[in-house]
Chains A and B, each alone.
Chain A
Amino acid sequence: MFRNYLKTAFRNLGKNKLYSGINIIGLTTALAACLLIGVFIIHELSYDKFNKNADRIVRVTMEYKNAETVNTTATTGTKVGPQFKRTFPGVEEFARTFLSHNTIKIDEKIFEEPRILYADPAFFKIFSFHLLQGDASTALDAPDKIVLTRSMAKKYFGDENGALNKTITSGGKDLKVSAICDDVPQNSQVKFDFVTQFLNLGNNVKGETWWTANWITYLLVRDSKSIRPLQSQIADYMKTPDVKAEARITGNNYLTYHLEPLTKVHLHSKLAGFEPNGSIIYIYMFAAIALLILVIACANYTNLATAQSTGRSGEIGVRKVMGASKRQVFFQFIGESALITFLAAALALVLGVLLIPSFNSITGKEFTTKSLVQPLPIISLMLFAAFVSFFAGIYPAMVLSGTRVIGILKKGFSFTGGSSRLRKSLIIVQFSISVFLITYTAIILQQMKYMQTKDLGYDKSHVVVLPIGGKMLKDFKSLKEAFVRIRGVEGVTAAYETPEYVEWGDGITVNDERGKHEISLNAMPVDLDFLSTLKMQLAAGRDFQESDFATLDTTNNYANYHLPYIINESLAKKIGWTAQEAIGREIENRATGPVIGVVKDFNFSSLHEPIGPLVMFLGRDFSRTFMIRINGNDMQSTLGRLEMMWKQRVPDRPFSYHFLDEDYDKLYKAEQRTSVLFSVAAGLAILLACLGLFGLAAFTTIQRTKEIGIRRVLGANLSDITLLIAKNFLQLVSIAILIAIPLAWWAGDKWLQDFAFRIPVHISVFIVTAIVTVLIALFTVGFHTIKAAIANPVKSLRSE
């Protein structure tokens, strides 16, 4: 019997090529989307779980209150790790970590390496990075040791076996390769190419301090159950007078630490560590999109199957007369939907593999064929297919098997009433989803465009960013002058960090009419020409100038040391000054000094945040990056000249540059991905919905061939006929638009709430979406209706 059903199913597939094609294409696409999204979700949920001690590792985050402002950071001072281990028996080990770039040199090979991890010796005991050679307990037990990943060993030594015990030079220091580690898994929050001792970071990490929080600290606790009690012990400990005194905590200010379980950091923490975190919200969004696309494909199947059932009525009648039971007919039709779905699932696997490169560019991950061809994704795909087979097939199967045999043999059978309502409802559901996704995507894209083009208060284009290494500071001035002299260079400056995302948290003391008070803010140590190079505008006062260095008088034990400041408009406003009033007023950061300029507000953090108070001070010694504005014309030649000069002046560092606008774009990677994801999802949704509509329109026109013929004979013209068929579909699409637009408005507005700088949701988005959807639907339906309308009516009547 099974063979008989299989044969019938295959022959039906072949006979109804259009409908079968639509179903298979729709289900394949939807299942491929689900497969890829499923792989992504599995990957995200597996973050850091490969560590054997995953449940015992915590990341320590810092929370402090200063000047009525509460700050939280994923980084801590150097004291946290060792002090907690000494104080709390529940802490077994600690590792302070810092990821930095530096040069790596072997013989003549020299590269700027971006992923050098500095970590305490217990690092390989805490985390389960597999060592291919070397011993975890001794790999980092001396400052002259370095661990390479397999890829780096190959890059520098051509072979992972030849690297052990060899010497490499990093930042001018010779280090011995003590171990070779397997490449870091993608689902690790700590990613590196090299690991060396934390103390190699230099003198500033040798002492222990609660402040200067630049380091990410991980603890290995003795028992996963002890995390919660340890958390409250830490809170109590940080309140003890001795600790408060040591950390210089006064008044109602406080300093405390939180323990984040390692496996919760990636998806649940608001504090980014070595890399931007994922988000559980995005996981839900991805899952919802997969589900919505699947719903559309299922709806197509149900719709087309019920539509086609008229043609199957004879067969069902005969089967029933011949003795088929209701159950047998039911399982025959469920079986048919299973056949199509599993066929689609097999194709989806192939399509999924083909789409891996595009999917990687959306997600920023590095999935491979192997990621898909794994038991878990394949089993999930099969479960999805089983789910779809059942839900897509159940309605037609139930109705067809439940039909009373009498009458259908002679009169035939058609779904009317309930099923036509179902079909209409499903079209509405499909188009509601599509319109929702299109509108939501349009809002996201508008915001993205706004972020790209917004006036940030500085000009981020054509600014080359180059790292400054330790030795370069000694020769800073002449180096800068050499840059300035290069043809095509319009301005050169340096700073601790680039302006698109200022991380340096600080505070100032203001002594004004209200007395002495503190303000928490961000600070930027900058060099001369910062404002002019970045084309920032002054609201009042002036930029730093050469003569300002004279006030940095370090003689006489800093007795006459004054630091001139430039503040932003927001800080002036916060203090209660106008820009003009601020000029000449004294504030205190590292030293007391006058405000010499007020810069117009510029965005120095993500557009999610409002512009906060900021102070700039002349701090050449803090400089870590050069920013060189070059002429937009003939950039390649200017870069060539820069490189030539760099190689002459800085021979021990590679010329590895990037552009400031690239840094800016990196800030919105998550949004960028969301926008691409939604664009793809919206495209898929409307494509699948239209595919279904196309099939139904074909079916409806065939059903109404006689009616169309009669109407044509009676004088109806092309537009009358087109309208006749199209209007039913257009009504449904219009209802879908009315349902989806308020939802999209709400969801889009909610998404935008997360941005301090955002576009207003304008009604035109909805109008354009509505018009585009109607036109797409009209075009889809139009093909068949026009074909039917221009057919010779005599022929259509005769064929009836």
Chain B
Amino acid sequence: MIKITNLEKVYRTDEVETVALNKLTLEIKEGEFVAVMGPSGCGKSTLLNIVGLLDDPDSGSFMFNGIEVAKFNERKRADLRKRNIGFVFQSFNLIDELTVFENVELPLIYTGVKGNERKKRVEEVLDKMQIMHRRNHYPQQLSGGQQQRVAVARAVVNKPKLILADEPTGNLDSHNGNEVMQLLTELNEQGTTVVMVTHSEHDARYSHRIIRMLDGQTVLENIMV
């Protein structure tokens, strides 16, 4: 599904040049659950942003489902992203002014799904995530675990092929964290590819494969059994 070859990304300020990805090569197959680990500043989030089509690389190749997307412009990336990728963030990133239902509905609005169909799909996914009873609440009225469940619901409502999770349990206690990991596992079992950046060895154990990064490169891969 994802094939990255010699990918480079350098951040430049006036005086400092930081190499975030250094000729990184990586392949992720459809249906895999991959955890990316490494110390702060090793390039994990940069990798996730590029894989999530939120950012573009300076050089190298990035094939998504067999299509070269490294040189895609913003509009093309946005189009590909909204149809194929769901995101789960550490800080949930729910819109405070929208209710649970409306937050989950958002990706469907942007992909042009009709109102009735939207309602059906949002209710389906809220039911599945067991937060249907909170559908009319605002994010600030929910606990952290509930907020992340809403975020996961939002990530999956569009039935994406790939879910990118950036430290999804970082802001949660262990009980809620385990619940979220359980959700991701279930989604993966249903066929969704999951790529997760994490600092937690515990969470990483839910994955099939752990990619360890250092200074913008992969240094080790652990296959989980």
How far apart are A152's CB and chain B's nearest CB, in angstroms? 62
How far apart are B25's CB and chain A's nearest CB, in angstroms? 22
Given contacts A12-B97, A326-B74, A409-B93, are A319 and B54 in contact (CB under 8 A)? no
> Are B107 and A322 touching (Cβ within 8 A)?
yes
Chain B: CB-nearest residue to A405: B54
> Are B102 and A320 touching (Cβ within 8 A)?
no
A70 contacts the other chain (CB 8 A)? no
> Are B93 and A7 touching (Cβ within 8 A)?
no
A410–B93 alpha-carbon span in the complex (Å): 9
Q: Which residues of B contact A81 (CB under 8 A)?
A: none
Pick from B35-43, B59-67, B75-83, B212-220 the stretch touching chain A. Answer: B75-83
> Are A318 and B95 touching (Cβ within 8 A)?
yes
> Are A322 and B97 touching (Cβ within 8 A)?
no
> Are B98 and A8 touching (Cβ within 8 A)?
yes
CB under 8 Å from chain A, chain B span 69-103: 74-75, 78-79, 81-83, 87, 89, 91, 93-98, 102
> Are A323 and B97 touching (Cβ within 8 A)?
no
How far apart are B121's CB and chain A's nearest CB, in angstroms? 14
Most buried by B among A7, A15, A318, A409: A318
> Are A320 and B78 touching (Cβ within 8 A)?
yes
Q: Which of A4, A11, A314 contacts B106 (CB 8 A)?
A: A4
> Are A314 and B97 touching (Cβ within 8 A)?
no
A325 contacts the other chain (CB 8 A)? yes
How far apart are A10's CB and chain B's nearest CB, in angstroms? 9
How far apart are A407's CB and chain B's nearest CB, in angstroms? 8
> Are A323 and B94 touching (Cβ within 8 A)?
no
Q: Which residues of A contact B109 (CB under 8 A)?
A: 1, 4
A4–B104 alpha-carbon span in the complex (Å): 12
Q: Which of A315, A326, A406 contacts B49 (CB 8 A)?
A: A406
B200 contacts the other chain (CB 8 A)? no
A12–B78 alpha-carbon span in the complex (Å): 26
> Are A323 and B89 touching (Cβ within 8 A)?
no
> Are A323 and B93 touching (Cβ within 8 A)?
no
How far apart are B4's CB and chain A's nearest CB, in angstroms? 17
A624–B95 alpha-carbon span in the complex (Å): 81
Given contacts A323-B78, A323-B81, A326-B74, are A314 and B95 in contact (CB under 8 A)? yes
Contact flags A194-224 to B (C-beta < 8 A → 1, else 0): 0000000000000000000000000000000
Q: Which residues of B contact A8 (CB under 8 A)?
A: 95, 97-98
> Are A314 and B102 touching (Cβ within 8 A)?
no
How far apart are A1's CB and chain B's nearest CB, in angstroms? 5
A793 contacts the other chain (CB 8 A)? no
How far apart are B32's CB and chain A's nearest CB, in angstroms? 22
A352 contacts the other chain (CB 8 A)? no
Q: Which residues of B contact A326 (CB under 8 A)?
A: 74-75
Q: Which residues of A contact B96 (CB under 8 A)?
A: 15, 314-315
A272 contacts the other chain (CB 8 A)? no
A321 contacts the other chain (CB 8 A)? yes
Q: Which residues of B contact A790 (CB under 8 A)?
A: none
How far apart are A682's CB and chain B's nearest CB, in angstroms? 38
Most buried by B among A1, A7, A321: A321
B55 contacts the other chain (CB 8 A)? yes
Q: Which residues of B contact A15 (CB under 8 A)?
A: 96-97
B111 contacts the other chain (CB 8 A)? yes
Given contacts A4-B102, A321-B81, A323-B78, are A328 and B93 in contact (CB under 8 A)? no
A11–B95 alpha-carbon span in the complex (Å): 11
Q: Which residues of A contact B154 (CB under 8 A)?
A: 322
Q: Which residues of A contact B79 (CB under 8 A)?
A: 323
A121–B24 alpha-carbon span in the complex (Å): 101
CB under 8 Å from chain B, chain A span 729-755: none
> Are A328 and B95 touching (Cβ within 8 A)?
no
How far apart are A197's CB and chain B's nearest CB, in angstroms? 75
Q: Which residues of B contact A319 (CB under 8 A)?
A: 95, 106, 110
> Are B81 and A314 touching (Cβ within 8 A)?
no
How far apart are A310's CB and chain B's nearest CB, in angstroms? 14
> Are B82 and A322 touching (Cβ within 8 A)?
yes
Main secondary structure of the interface of A (DSSP, over half): helix
Chain B: CB-nearest residue to A325: B78
Chain B: CB-nearest residue to A2: B109
A405–B81 alpha-carbon span in the complex (Å): 13
How far apart are A799's CB and chain B's nearest CB, in angstroms? 16
A1–B102 alpha-carbon span in the complex (Å): 11
Q: Which residues of B contact A317 (CB under 8 A)?
A: 93
Chain A: CB-nearest residue to B112: A1
> Are A322 and B110 touching (Cβ within 8 A)?
yes
A247 contacts the other chain (CB 8 A)? no
A409–B52 alpha-carbon span in the complex (Å): 13
Q: Which residues of A contact B82 (CB under 8 A)?
A: 322-323
> Are A318 and B93 touching (Cβ within 8 A)?
yes
How far apart are A322's CB and chain B's nearest CB, in angstroms? 4
A399 contacts the other chain (CB 8 A)? no
Q: Which residues of A contact B89 (CB under 8 A)?
A: 409
> Are A328 and B54 touching (Cβ within 8 A)?
no
How far apart are A744's CB and chain B's nearest CB, in angstroms? 43
> Are A315 and B97 touching (Cβ within 8 A)?
yes
Q: Which residues of A contact B110 (CB under 8 A)?
A: 1, 319, 322-325, 328
A12–B95 alpha-carbon span in the complex (Å): 11
A410–B45 alpha-carbon span in the complex (Å): 10
How far apart are B18's CB and chain A's nearest CB, in angstroms? 13
How far apart are B12's CB and chain A's nearest CB, in angstroms? 14
CB under 8 Å from chain B, chain A span 301-337: 314-315, 317-326, 328
Chain A: CB-nearest residue to B77: A405
How far apart are B198's CB and chain A's nearest CB, in angstroms? 15
Most buried by A among B74, B78, B91: B78
Q: Which residues of A contact B49 (CB under 8 A)?
A: 406
How far apart are A6's CB and chain B's nearest CB, in angstroms? 11
> Are A323 and B102 touching (Cβ within 8 A)?
no
Given contacts A12-B97, A318-B95, are A406 and B106 in contact (CB under 8 A)? no
A409–B75 alpha-carbon span in the complex (Å): 19
Q: Which of B83, B87, B97 contacts A11 (CB 8 A)?
A: B97
Q: Which of B74, B87, B91, B97 contacts A7 (CB 8 A)?
A: B97
Chain B: CB-nearest residue to A13: B97
How far apart are B115's CB and chain A's nearest CB, in angstroms? 9
A321–B49 alpha-carbon span in the complex (Å): 10
A7–B52 alpha-carbon span in the complex (Å): 29
Chain B: CB-nearest residue to A10: B97
Given contacts A7-B102, A323-B107, are A406 and B95 in contact (CB under 8 A)? no
> Are B97 and A325 touching (Cβ within 8 A)?
no
A314–B154 alpha-carbon span in the complex (Å): 15
Q: Which residues of A contact B83 (CB under 8 A)?
A: 323
- Given A315-B97, A322-B154, 12 further pairs, Cβ under 8 A: A7-B97, A8-B98, A315-B96, A317-B93, A318-B95, A319-B106, A323-B83, A324-B78, A325-B75, A325-B110, A409-B89, A410-B45
Query: Nearest 7 pairs between A and B by C-beta?
Result: A323-B82, A323-B110, A11-B97, A406-B55, A322-B107, A315-B95, A322-B106
**Interface positions of B (Cβ within 8 A of A):** 45, 49, 52, 54-55, 74-75, 78-79, 81-83, 87, 89, 91, 93-98, 102, 105-107, 109-111, 154
26 residue pairs of the A-B complex, CB under 8 angstroms, read A1-B109, A1-B110, A4-B102, A4-B109, A7-B102, A8-B98, A11-B98, A12-B97, A314-B93, A314-B96, A315-B96, A318-B93, A319-B95, A319-B106, A319-B110, A320-B78, A321-B52, A321-B93, A322-B106, A323-B79, A323-B83, A324-B78, A324-B110, A325-B110, A328-B110, A404-B74
